[in-house]
């Protein structure tokens, strides 16, 4: 009986597969960047000003991370906004 049930389960999965949605693992830098970018989006100011505010805040919070990495994280967060 177990063999028949297992075979039927595999057949059902093959006929109607359930898509597996993977959630990307976010580093603390990426998660914080997304939050700051979302918050800065509502500010009535130029884009460069908003970017500088997020950049300065991230440099203070993540002093050991390279500045280019922070800049790239900001750009990615803006793209996903």
Under DSSP, is residue 71 helix (H, G, I), strand (E, B) or coil? helix
As a whole number, mean pLDDT of residues 70-80 equals: 91
Average pLDDT over all residues of the chain: 87
pLDDT digits (tens, 9 = 90+) for 45-70: 888 999 999 999 999 999 999 999 99
Q: 75: how many CB neighbours lie within 10 A of its CB?
A: 13
Radius of gyration of the chain (CA): 22
Residue 24, pLDDT above cutoff 70 = no
Under DSSP, is residue 16 helix (H, G, I), strand (E, B) or coil? coil
As a whole number, mean pLDDT of residues 33-49 equals: 91
Q: What does the domain layout of the chain look like in residue ranges?
A: 24-80
């Amino acid at each position: 009986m177990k063999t028949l049930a297992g075979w039927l389960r595999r057949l059902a999965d093959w006929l109607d597969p359930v898509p597996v949605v993977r959630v990307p693992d976010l580093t603390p830098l990426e998660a914080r960047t997304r939050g700051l970018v979302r918050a800065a989006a509502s500010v009535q100011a130029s884009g460069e000003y908003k970017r500088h505010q997020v950049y300065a805040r991230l440099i203070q919070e993540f002093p050991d991370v390279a500045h280019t990495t922070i800049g790239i994280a900001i750009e990615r967060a803006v793209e996903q906004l």
